[in-house]
Structure 1
Amino acid sequence: MSEPRIVVAGAGSIGCYVGGLLAAAGRHVTLLCRERIAAGIRDHGLHLTSLDGLDLHVGAGALTLATDPQALATADLVLVTVKSGATREMARLIAAHAPSEAAVVSLQNGIGNAAALRAELPHRPVLAGMIPFNVVHAGEGRFHRGTSGAPVIEAGRPDLTRALSVPHLAVETSADMAAVLWGKLLINLNNALNALSGLTLHEQLQQRPWRKLLAAQQREALSVLAIAGTKPWSMGPLPVRLLPWVLRLPTPLFRMMARSAVRIDRRARSSMWEDLERRRPTEIDELQGAVVDLAARFGRDVPVNRRVREAIKQAEAAGAGSPHLRPVDLR
């Protein structure tokens, strides 16, 4: 699969950013997306920027835009980037339209997406994957990556790793994707806090009360994961077990410790904030909800994760964007 035909299935912010980088490197890419996103790219092309200084324009003619799932019929490789709640629906579309030999890679938040895809696609090669960075859609074909990190996909298909490794997208592999996905989820527990605060990620993480709430969620999750026998992967140089301790440090010490762990653009916000602002369903059930569900299996309670999930559900129901809560509102 040296020159696979790649279909990005459900191309939103992450899908358009990844697909745009692949197309810029000469890969054959189709973005299967909503008409709103397709229209913006047709009119303006793809404009990809990042906190690292990337400023790349990809003309609309460098890739194929599609809104009909029949576009999956061209795929050698399908990158699934839909929200977790739409995974099974997308799997059924892949089953109906994609060639039987097409490989499928999940590049989604949450723990169970690859398993859901395998359940619907039992005779197809399905790999788990993880995108560590966040991307915000600024309209008119503009997509900005606001945090750092390298994508990871399940080991065993070096041809896919080569096909997906292009400039500005250095893909790594892992034989233990469950650990990788739980490690990412521990970081993603901040998505909801950022959405509820209405602040940028930089502003929010400079405030110790918000960091202490994130630390409390992570402590709950790490406790339950230890009972389950799962050791989550560390996304950066800092061991995952130390994350809550670092988050609780006074802000000057936190800045010193965090500087080497992750880079965050001052404009960056979480994808869940964007979901609330655009009145879209969030992935709270796949993040805090996954911690609550795992705890329930062992007869444990995780009250901070549970309260944060409830607050996001209330914000979704209100349909008014971020509620701009304070940390004390979640205690």
Structure 2
Amino acid sequence: MQQKPQIGIMGAGSIGCYLGAKLLSGNVPTRLIGRASLGQELTTQGLTVSLLDGSKLSIPPAKVDFETQPEHLADCDVVLLTVKSTDTESACLSLQPVLKQGTVVVSFQNGVRNAARISQLLPQAQVIAGMVPFNVVKTGVGSFHNGTSGSLIIGQSPYAARVVTPFHLAQLAIDIHPDIQGVLWGKLIFNLNNAINALAGVPLREELSDKRYRRIVAAAMREALRMMKAAQIKPLRLGKMIPWLAPSILSLPDFLFFKVAAGMVKIDPQARSSMWEDLEKRRRTEIDYLNGEIVRLGQAHNMPTPVNSTIVALLRQAEEAQQGSPGLSAEALWQQIQQKS
């Protein structure tokens, strides 16, 4: 008989499986909810996560507690919501009749609005906004790779200890921040590159090693910072990653950029954005919750957003084409942006 789960993961994709593997390796009773096809992989082949430092975590099939229906989270004290922002509402509607009063629900999702929406849809839950700074992609059957560095952050809450304690047992670095919305807006600045990387179709390190791509990322960030200033939104730094300095750092000559960036974040050669993975798997992306958020700010303040509007339009075209990444060169992408400016 399986042990009662302490933590449930709703939406066991790349991030959910990474967190699940870490928690299970720390002997924290954890149940994953996800697609039947993934469950078949994990319960027959096990769950393997390769880490940035070259090490691996391997969870044998017998230790993987995987289900496909949300009712199996009824006994959990904490539920981590790791579905795409596009699926927040449907996930919460399926959890409404399931979760007990006082269940802590942590949104480990991209975007800035998920926690507020979850609170509306799950009134019985204690909702905490969270931020995942690192990148995880699926690399094979039951296998995932963590390709960038960073510590998890959750918002300040009387219930934060229910999350932090088991995470520390599992050696998952996690911090509590008093202004999680500022943190999420800060992360959004850096997440604007997700779409650019997806359109380019190359690994993150290769993309950021090319000053021509960096020029586009910097332009998207500068535009976003202008919109946030107009909306009186203050994005906060993520450790050494400082949103308001990022465009200038990206604009440095290659030799200086490499030196400065190396001290900010670690990226291995395999790392790619989750949006690239979505295009490759013909799934709907989170473009509306990332670059689209900047476009909405511009519309609300009657300010043009040619860079992010172009990126949103190109991503939607790629979604509709259902052919994976379009593999746009930096020159082709920049030319399209210039036509809108």
Scaled by the length of structure 1, the TM-score of the pair is 0.96
Q: How does 1:181-192 map to 2 (within 5 A)?
A: 181-192=184-195
Partner of 2:130 in structure 1?
A: 129
Determine if contact 2:241/2:265 at 8 Å carries over to the other structure. Answer: no
The answer as to 2:331 corresponding to 1:328 is yes
Partner of 1:87 in structure 2?
A: 88
Provide Cα deviations, 1:99-157, integer angstroms capped at 9, x if missing partner.
12211000000111101101111232000001100101112110100000000011122
Q: How does 1:69-88 map to 2 (within 5 A)?
A: 69-88=70-89
How much has 1:166 moved relative to structure 2? 3.8
Determine if contact 2:214/2:250 at 8 Å carries over to the other structure. Answer: yes
Q: Which runs of 5+ in 2 are unaligned?
A: none
How much has 1:74 moved relative to structure 2? 2.2
Determine if contact 1:47/1:56 at 8 Å carries over to the other structure. Answer: yes
1:166–1:196 CA distance, 2 compared to 1 (3 A):
farther
RMSD (Å), alpha carbons: 1.3
The answer as to 2:260 corresponding to 1:267 is no
Structure 1 residues 179-188 or 222-231, which shifts more? 222-231
Determine if contact 1:43/1:140 at 8 Å carries over to the other structure. Answer: no
Residue identity matched to 2:210: Q
Residue identity matched to 1:216: A
The answer as to 2:47 corresponding to 1:46 is yes
Provide Cα deviations, 1:242-273, integer angstroms capped at 9, x if missing partner.
10001011111100110100000111111000
Structure 1 residues 287-296 or 58-67, which shifts more? 58-67
Residue identity matched to 1:169: L
The answer as to 2:281 corresponding to 1:281 is no
- Following the alignment from structure 1 to structure 2, what is the Cα–Cα distance between the partners of residues 44 and 4? 21
- Following the alignment from structure 1 to structure 2, what is the Cα–Cα distance between the partners of residues 309 and 131? 22
How much has 1:167 moved relative to structure 2? 4.2
- Following the alignment from structure 1 to structure 2, what is the Cα–Cα distance between the partners of residues 106 and 165? 18
How much has 1:37 moved relative to structure 2? 1.0
* The one of 205, 212, 231 aligned to 2:208: 205
How much has 1:164 moved relative to structure 2? 2.2
Determine if contact 1:4/1:163 at 8 Å carries over to the other structure. Answer: no
Residue-pair matches, total: 329
Q: How does 1:1-331 map to 2 (within 5 A)?
A: 5-156=6-157, 157-330=160-333, 331=337
Query: Could you say what secondary structure the match of 1:311 adopts?
Result: helix
Query: Could you say what secondary structure the match of 2:133 adopts?
Result: coil
Provide Cα deviations, 1:280-322, integer angstroms capped at 9, x if missing partner.
0000000000111112111111110000010000000000001
Determine if contact 1:28/1:63 at 8 Å carries over to the other structure. Answer: no
Residue identity matched to 2:297: L
Determine if contact 2:217/2:247 at 8 Å carries over to the other structure. Answer: yes
Determine if contact 1:40/1:139 at 8 Å carries over to the other structure. Answer: no
Structure 1 residues 234-243 or 20-29, which shifts more? 234-243
Residue identity matched to 1:325: L
Q: Which runs of 5+ in 1 are unaligned?
A: none
Provide Cα deviations, 1:182-211, integer angstroms capped at 9, x if missing partner.
111111111111111111101100000100
Determine if contact 1:24/1:62 at 8 Å carries over to the other structure. Answer: no
Query: Could you say what secondary structure the match of 1:232 adopts?
Result: coil
Determine if contact 2:7/2:78 at 8 Å carries over to the other structure. Answer: yes
Query: Could you say what secondary structure the match of 1:203 adopts?
Result: helix
- Following the alignment from structure 1 to structure 2, what is the Cα–Cα distance between the partners of residues 236 and 208? 24
Determine if contact 2:43/2:64 at 8 Å carries over to the other structure. Answer: no
How much has 1:227 moved relative to structure 2? 1.7
1:41–1:247 CA distance, 2 compared to 1 (3 A):
same
Query: Could you say what secondary structure the match of 2:80 adopts?
Result: strand
1:35–1:128 CA distance, 2 compared to 1 (3 A):
same
- Following the alignment from structure 1 to structure 2, what is the Cα–Cα distance between the partners of residues 165 and 134? 20
Structure 1 residues 236-245 or 189-198, which shifts more? 236-245
1:196–1:254 CA distance, 2 compared to 1 (3 A):
same
1:168–1:250 CA distance, 2 compared to 1 (3 A):
farther
